[in-house]
């Protein structure tokens, strides 16, 4: 019941969000906000479809962007065909065609990759991803080489009579498809296929023993996740009207993995959380710092070591305590963690930024500006402050974490009783 209201609230917030920064004096929407929200929608689809593999089937794929990109490239060609009248398909159905293109390619590659599982599967998908990314740079007819392919999304064919000239209309199209795709993916987890995917993930030999073909399950799951990734790619093409090889290259596949994993692969909504969070950070932090990848990498590794179930998993871990009504007892221990955590964060960010401004920043002729004044990266003080803050915060955090652990265990034991 609570979850249902959460979903309704999420959709309402997503629908209202573009009006949040509405410029009433000029009657204009904030372009940055709308493009960020649109990006979020696509990334939610990408992360959710990636989690069909990683979370639900235990398959570590490294070519997920291939199907996203395929959907994108195909949509560009569909839109061009629709533009000159040879493809009478309304705009609203375009993402479906994109999904089908992704599905076709995923069936082709899936037939090869799903022969294996675990590590070998990861390596094969790595090869497939590189194959497609390299091919996209070489062949001009379909992929347009380095320049990519372009289109014009105003094809003048819409079920609702919309022109899709403004970013806002495109955003609502993306939102609608995101909700549809997410709902479909959720219902898939309830089907026998979704259950069998979980079973082959946990113990493929037993699944085999009771008469299911784990390879077939992997194949179906792979193909369907390619379908949804293709939908995301179609929305990408419609939004940007250009698709280059970035849409199917390895960094985007890695991004799908990061979003799904950081959000949490064990809960269906986890990747949504991850996609929203990472897109927010990406739009925010990458403008401020060019060391964005270090932060994401460290965050990712920390998650792998300390919280393998991701952010959503962490939240879910509180459930027994919440049911016992003892959530309030955690407030003080959490507050005590805040200051040492901030110390570690400050020290780490300080060191990374100082180091990166020493080399990369110097090459770009930039100066490190913090607290309203320039900071000399060659001076001793900022380095000493960062190191001290990192070390002190680290030791203090270890101490506090031990205390937190005690409280946590006591509450959990109480909740279990």
Partner 1 sequence: METVLISVLNGLVYGMLLFMLASGLTLIFSMMGVLNFAHASIYMVGAYLAFTISQVLGFFPALIIAPVLCGLIGAGIEIWGLRRVHHNGHIAELLFTFGLVFIIQRLVQMTWGMLPMAYRVPPLLDFPLFHLYGVNFPAYRGFMLLVSGAMLLSTWVLLKKTRVGLIIQAALTHPQMVSSLGHNVPQVFTTVFAGGCLLAGLAGVIGGNYQTTEPGMADSMGPIVFVVVVFGGLGSLAGCFVASIVMGMIQTFAVVVDYSVADLLRPLGLAISGDTLLTEVLTVPVARIGALLPFVMMVTILFFRPRGLMGTRDA
Least distance CB 383 / partner 1 (angstroms): 14
Least distance CB 79 / partner 1 (angstroms): 18
Residues 6+ apart with CB under 8 A from 104: none
Told to check if 363 binds partner 1 by CB under 8 A, we report yes
Q: Which stretch binds partner 1 (CB under 8 A): 181-189, 360-368, 388-396, 398-406?
A: 360-368
Nearer to partner 1, 131 or 388 (CB): 131
Nearer to partner 1, 278 or 296 (CB): 296
Among 212, 300, 383, 396, binds partner 1 (CB under 8 A): 300
Told to check if 118 binds partner 1 by CB under 8 A, we report yes
Among 67, 78, 121, 171, binds partner 1 (CB under 8 A): 121
Q: Which stretch binds partner 1 (CB under 8 A): 21-29, 190-198, 298-306, 326-334?
A: 298-306
Q: What whole-number distance in Å separates Cα of residue 175 and Cα of residue 161?
A: 18
Handedness of CA 258, 260, 264, 265 (dihedral sign): negative
Least distance CB 142 / partner 1 (angstroms): 5
Q: What whole-number distance in Å separates Cα of residue 247 and Cα of residue 108?
A: 19
Nearer to partner 1, 128 or 188 (CB): 128
Nearer to partner 1, 280 or 358 (CB): 358
Among 6, 8, 138, 280, binds partner 1 (CB under 8 A): 138
Q: What residues between 142 and 171 interact with partner 1 by CB under 8 A? A: 142
Told to check if 261 binds partner 1 by CB under 8 A, we report yes
Binding mask 187-216 for partner 1 (x = CB under 8 A): ------------------------------
Applying CB under 8 A, what is the total number of residues that bind partner 1? 49
Residues that bind partner 1 (CB under 8 A): 54, 58, 60, 112, 115-124, 126-128, 130-131, 134-135, 138-142, 250, 254, 257, 261, 291, 293-294, 296-298, 300-301, 304-305, 308, 352, 355-356, 358-360, 362-363
């Amino acid at each position: 019941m609570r979850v249902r209201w959460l979903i309704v609230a999420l959709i309402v917030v997503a629908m209202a969000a573009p009006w949040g920064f509405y410029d009433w004096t000029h009657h204009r929407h904030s372009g940055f906000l709308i493009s960020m929200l649109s990006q979020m929608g696509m990334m939610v689809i990408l992360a959710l479809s990636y989690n069909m593999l990683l979370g639900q089937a235990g398959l570590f794929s490294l070519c997920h962007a291939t199907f996203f990109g395929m959907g994108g490239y195909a949509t560009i060609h569909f839109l061009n065909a629709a533009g000159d009248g040879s493809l009478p398909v309304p705009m609203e159905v375009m993402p479906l065609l994109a999904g089908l293109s992704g599905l076709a390619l995923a069936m082709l590659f899936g037939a090869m990759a799903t022969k294996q599982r675990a590590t070998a599967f990861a390596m094969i998908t790595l090869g497939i991803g590189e194959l497609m990314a390299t091919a996209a740079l070489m062949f001009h007819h379909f992929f347009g080489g380095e320049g990519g392919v372009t289109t014009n999304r105003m094809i003048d064919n819409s079920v609702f009579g919309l022109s899709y000239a403004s970013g806002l209309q495109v955003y609502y199209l993306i939102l609608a498809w995101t909700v549809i795709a997410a709902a479909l993916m959720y219902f898939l987890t309830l089907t026998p296929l979704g259950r069998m995917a979980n079973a082959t993930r946990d113990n493929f030999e037993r699944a085999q023993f009771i008469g299911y073909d784990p390879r077939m399950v992997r194949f179906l799951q792979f193909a369907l996740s390619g379908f949804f990734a293709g939908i995301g790619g179609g929305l990408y093409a419609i939004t940007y009207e250009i698709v280059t090889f970035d849409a199917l290259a390895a960094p985007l596949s890695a991004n799908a993995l990061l979003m799904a994993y950081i959000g949490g692969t064990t809960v269906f909504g986890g990747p949504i959380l991850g996609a929203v969070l990472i897109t927010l950070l990406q739009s925010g932090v990458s403008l401020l710092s060019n060391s964005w990848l270090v932060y994401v990498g460290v965050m990712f590794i920390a998650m792998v070591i300390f919280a393998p179930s991701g952010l959503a998993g962490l939240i879910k871990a509180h459930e027994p305590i919440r049911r016992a009504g003892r959530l309030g007892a955690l407030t003080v221990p959490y507050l005590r963690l805040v200051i040492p955590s901030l110390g570690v964060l400050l020290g780490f960010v300080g060191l990374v930024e100082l180091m990166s401004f020493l080399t990369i920043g110097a090459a770009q002729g930039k100066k490190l500006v913090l607290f309203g004044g320039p900071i000399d990266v060659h001076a001793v003080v900022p380095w000493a402050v960062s190191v001290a803050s990192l070390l002190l915060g680290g030791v203090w955090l270890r101490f506090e974490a031990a205390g937190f652990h005690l409280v946590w265990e006591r509450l959990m034991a109480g909740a279990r009783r």
